[in-house]
């Protein structure tokens, strides 16, 4: 029960830490602890039931080997400008070097070699010109699209590699606490979620990479053990769905349009995120029964619609500085109006000051891709500041993408990103607790598959270098 390296959470950051170690023939004894199931045993019943059945003790879309990445649209952003604040910690060029390196690993495991969003220079210039006219910034970012089903195949192959190379991977085990003595990490307290058996694993290094799903748990550990952290930004928004015909030009030229704006009157940062051409709106459930909206995009299966998130960023200082709790409260209000399900409202109904009724969803060109969505009034739950930011951003988007602000455009809520807690770490990703490292989206330093994977690769490299220097 004693290990050299203990990794908590089998999301991309944790996976790629272990993978980099075994790829370099490290002799470290590695334990990877995951709350959910192995990727080959993860299954969402909604595929058959057409409605969320609130799986217990966890949602299979957000929990299990590879985390939410296995059920996401599987996009790898290939630019250091996209994916969080890691470049601020270790430098732009260094991060870009390891994005390129990590990308090659994904290709080795079967990722599509095609890169979206490159070439088509004249078309991109025109989209940028329209963005400038709308007061928006177009961020250039090449995209490698894995696809939801292909992402699962890739991560399954990585899972097999880790197990074959001797990494001890235990599934359906929840970490209840971390063990610290005199400012030094000693191990973790774990519970088998099937038998309730309690276990203790000792380790020289403990690496926490619990993803957005585990951000709240990590914050509770920070408070309990005096791990240095600070409140960061909370992103609150909606997932917008339109017909493919509306987004056709942008989809063909860029695949994903990453646009940033600071709309009047509040000038908060508002951005697009996770665009899914021909995709499907999906639901994710968190441990506290929060239902949040997301989007998937498959390589083969396609819908008639494109969906993307529009997120408004908010910062708090004093007397309130708990952005995760704020985001939860917003989500709870939206869920309450939707009776525990995802709520949707047409853009035109918002402008008219009325709710959307269920029968009205069948009268449009646009048919919702989320089968159990509930029509209603998201403006009764999402704060005024956030809602106005989103509506003014949609209006600006219509300059770039004519038809985006049509009356039938559908807004699903809530879409909230729970990475608001930011851990204070060194360039070696170490906290103020010796031997305790934090990676990925739960650390507050990354947002998305590629940057979390890069952080894992770098963590593996740092462990190897540390061993060689001893």
Domain locations in the chain as residue ranges: 2-111+147-230+421-468, 121-143+233-417
* Full pLDDT tens readout for the chain, 470 residues: 899 999 999 999 999 999 999 999 999 999 999 999 999 998 888 777 878 877 887 888 888 999 887 777 789 999 999 999 999 999 999 999 999 999 999 999 999 999 998 887 899 999 999 999 999 999 989 999 998 889 999 999 999 999 999 999 999 999 999 999 999 999 999 999 999 999 999 999 999 999 988 888 999 999 999 999 988 788 999 999 999 999 999 999 999 999 999 999 999 999 999 999 999 999 988 866 799 999 988 888 999 999 999 999 998 878 888 888 899 999 999 999 999 999 999 999 999 999 999 999 988 899 999 999 999 999 999 999 999 999 999 999 999 999 999 999 999 999 998 766 899 999 999 999 999 999 999 999 998 899 999 999 999 999 999 988 87
Residue 337 has phi, psi (to 5 degrees) of -70, -30
Q: Identify the CA nearest to 352 among candidates 308, 402, 408.
A: 408
The architecture CATH gives domain 2-111+147-230+421-468: 3-Layer(bba) Sandwich (3.50)
Q: What is the pLDDT of residue 220?
A: 93
Q: What is the 3-state secondary structure (H, E, C) of the chain?
A: CEEEEEEECCCHHHHHHHHHHHHCCCCCCEEEECCCCCHHHCCCCHHHHCCCCCCCCCCCCCCCCCHHHHHCCCEEECCCCCCECHHHHHCHHHHHHHHHHHHHHHHHCCCCCCCECCCCHHHHHHHHHHHHHCCEEEECCCEEECCHHHHHHHHHHHHHHHHHCCCEEECCEEEEEEEEECCEEEEEEEEECCCCCEEEEEEEEEEECCCHHHHHHHHHHHHHHCCCEEECCEEEEEEEEEEHHHHHHHHHHHCCCEEEECCCCCCCCEEEEEEECCCEEEEEECCCCCEEEEEECCCCCCCCEEEEEEEEEECCCCCCCCHHHHHHHHHHHHHHHCCCCCEEEEHHHHHHCCCCCHHHHHHCCCCCCCCCCEECCHHHCCCHHHHHHHHHHHHHHHHHCCCCCCCCCEEEEEEEECCCEEECCCCCCECCCECEEECHHHHCCECCHHHHHHHHHHHHHHHHHHHHCC
Q: How far apart are CA 146 and CA 148, in angstroms?
A: 7
- What pLDDT does residue 288 have? 67
Q: What is the dihedral of CA 33, 198, 219, 326, to 10 degrees?
A: 100
Which is it for the CA torsion 459, 465, 469, 470, positive or negative? Answer: positive
How many Cβ atoms are within 10 Å of 335's Cβ, its own excluded?
Answer: 21
Q: Tokens 């949040």 correspond to what residue?
A: 292
**CA distance to 261, 328, 454, per residue, from 236 (Å):** 15, 10, 26
Q: What pLDDT, on a 0 to 100 scale, did the predictor assign at position 142?
A: 93
Query: Tokens 């390196």 correspond to what residue?
Result: 101
pTM, whole model, 2 decimals? 0.87
Residue 61 is predicted with a pLDDT of 81
Closest CA to 368 of 407, 410, 405: 410
Q: Which residue has the tokens 């590699």?
A: 161
Cβ 272 vs Cβ 251: under 8 Å:
no
pLDDT at position 300 is 87
- Classify residue 447 by burial, with Cβ atoms within 10 Å: 0-12, 13-18, 19+: buried
What is the model's pLDDT at position 58?
Answer: 83
């Amino acid at each position: 029960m004693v290990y050299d390296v203990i990794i908590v959470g089998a999301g991309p950051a944790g996976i790629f830490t272990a993978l980099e170690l075994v790829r370099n023939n490290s002799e470290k004894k590695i334990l990877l602890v995951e709350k959910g199931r192995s990727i080959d045993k993860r299954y969402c019943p909604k595929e058959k039931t057409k409605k969320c059945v609130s799986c217990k003790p966890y949602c299979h879309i957000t929990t299990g080997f590879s985390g939410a990445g296995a059920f996401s649209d599987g996009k790898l952003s290939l630019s250091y400008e996209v994916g969080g604040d890691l470049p601020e910690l270790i430098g732009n060029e260094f991060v870009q070097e390891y994005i390129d390196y990590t990308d090659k690993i994904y290709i080795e495991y079967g990722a599509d070699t095609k890169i979206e969003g490159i070439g088509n220079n004249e078309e991109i210039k025109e989209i940028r010109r329209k963005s400038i006219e709308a007061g928006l910034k177009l961020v250039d970012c090449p995209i490698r699209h894995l696809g939801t089903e292909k992402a699962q195949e890739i991560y399954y192959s990585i899972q097999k590699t880790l197990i074959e190379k001797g990494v001890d991977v235990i599934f359906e085990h929840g970490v209840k606490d971390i063990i610290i003595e005199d400012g030094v990490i000693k191990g973790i307290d774990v519970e088998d979620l099937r038998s309730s058996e309690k276990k203790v694993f000792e380790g020289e290094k403990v690496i926490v990479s619990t993803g957005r799903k585990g951000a709240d748990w990590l914050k509770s550990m920070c408070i309990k053990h005096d791990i240095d952290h600070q409140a960061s930004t909370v992103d609150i928004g909606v997932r917008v769905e339109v017909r493919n015909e509306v987004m056709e030009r942008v989809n063909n030229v860029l695949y994903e349009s990453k646009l940033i704006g600071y709309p009047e009157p509040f000038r908060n940062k508002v951005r697009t995120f996770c665009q899914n051409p021909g995709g499907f709106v999906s639901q994710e459930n968190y441990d506290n029964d929060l239902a949040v909206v997301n989007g998937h995009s498959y390589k083969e299966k396609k819908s008639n619609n494109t969906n993307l998130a529009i997120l408004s960023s908010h910062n708090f200082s004093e007397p309130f500085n708990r952005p995760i709790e704020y985001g939860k409260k917003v989500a709870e209000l939206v869920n309450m109006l939707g009776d525990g399900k995802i709520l949707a409202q047409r853009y035109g109904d918002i402008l008219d000051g009325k709710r959307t009724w269920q029968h009205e969803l069948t009268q449009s060109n646009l048919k919702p891709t989320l089968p159990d969505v509930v029509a209603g009034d998201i403006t009764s739950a999402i704060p005024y500041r956030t809602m106005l930011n989103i509506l003014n951003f949609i209006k600006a988007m219509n300059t770039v993408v004519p038809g985006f602000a049509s009356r039938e455009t559908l807004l699903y809520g809530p879409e909230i990103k729970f990475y608001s807690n930011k851990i204070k770490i060194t360039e070696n990703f170490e906290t103020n607790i010796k031997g305790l490292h934090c990676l990925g989206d739960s650390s507050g330093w990354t947002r998305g598959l590629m940057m979390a994977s890069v952080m894992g690769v770098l963590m593996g490299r740092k462990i190897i270098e540390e061993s060689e220097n001893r």
